[in-house]
């Protein structure tokens, strides 16, 4: 597992009328499916591991194998090394706008297949916080 820093801590957000921040990675995949786990952490240790407070954001799967593109449930597909995927070029394009909204577009440049994802768990329902004090009775 590799932890890849997308935007370093302290990176200044663009102004409202400026283009979003952009960070691009290109590579030849070694697996049939890419399993991306996004998190936020306080900092990275010298060996690259996340340390301090860690917040999980997203868990995304992307089909590198042409035969899996468009599959509805990649979670059911085992991730395995494959030589066939090495013939493809994959590009991850990360953007961050003036409001701090993060997104990634993952594309297989060799097949033209692309998917876009908004990163973060902002829209999910938050768990109810329960008080340890007894509830007041209303008459």
Name the phi and psi angles at 76, rounded to 5.
-85, -5
Domain boundaries along the sequence of the chain: 21-67+79-119
Query: What torsion do the CA atoms of 69, 71, 72, 77 make, to the nearest 10 degrees?
Result: -110
Strand-pairing partners, residue 71, are none
DSSP state at residue 22: E
pLDDT in tens, 52-64: 888 888 889 999 9
pLDDT in tens, 74-100: 999 999 998 877 789 999 999 999 999
pLDDT in tens, 34-54: 999 888 887 888 888 888 888
Query: What torsion do the CA atoms of 111, 117, 119, 124 make, to the nearest 10 degrees?
Result: -140
In terms of pLDDT, which residue wins out, 112 or 127? 112
pLDDT > 90 fraction of the chain, expressed in percent and rounded: 50
Whole-prediction pTM value?
0.79
């Amino acid at each position: 597992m590799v932890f890849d820093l997308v935007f370093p801590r302290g990176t200044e957000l663009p102004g409202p009328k400026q283009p979003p921040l952009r960070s691009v990675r290109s590579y030849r995949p070694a697996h049939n499916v890419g399993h991306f786990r996004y998190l936020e952490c306080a900092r990275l240790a010298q060996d690259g591991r996340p340390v301090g407070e860690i917040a999980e954001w997203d868990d995304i799967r992307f089909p590198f194998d042409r035969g899996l593109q468009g599959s509805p449930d990649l979670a059911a597909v085992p991730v395995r090394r494959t030589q066939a995927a090495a013939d493809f070029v994959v590009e991850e394009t990360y953007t961050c706008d003036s409001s701090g909204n993060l997104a990634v577009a993952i594309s297989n440049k060799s097949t033209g297949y692309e998917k876009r994802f908004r990163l973060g768990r902002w829209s999910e329902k938050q768990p109810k916080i329960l008080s340890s004090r007894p509830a007041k009775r209303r008459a």
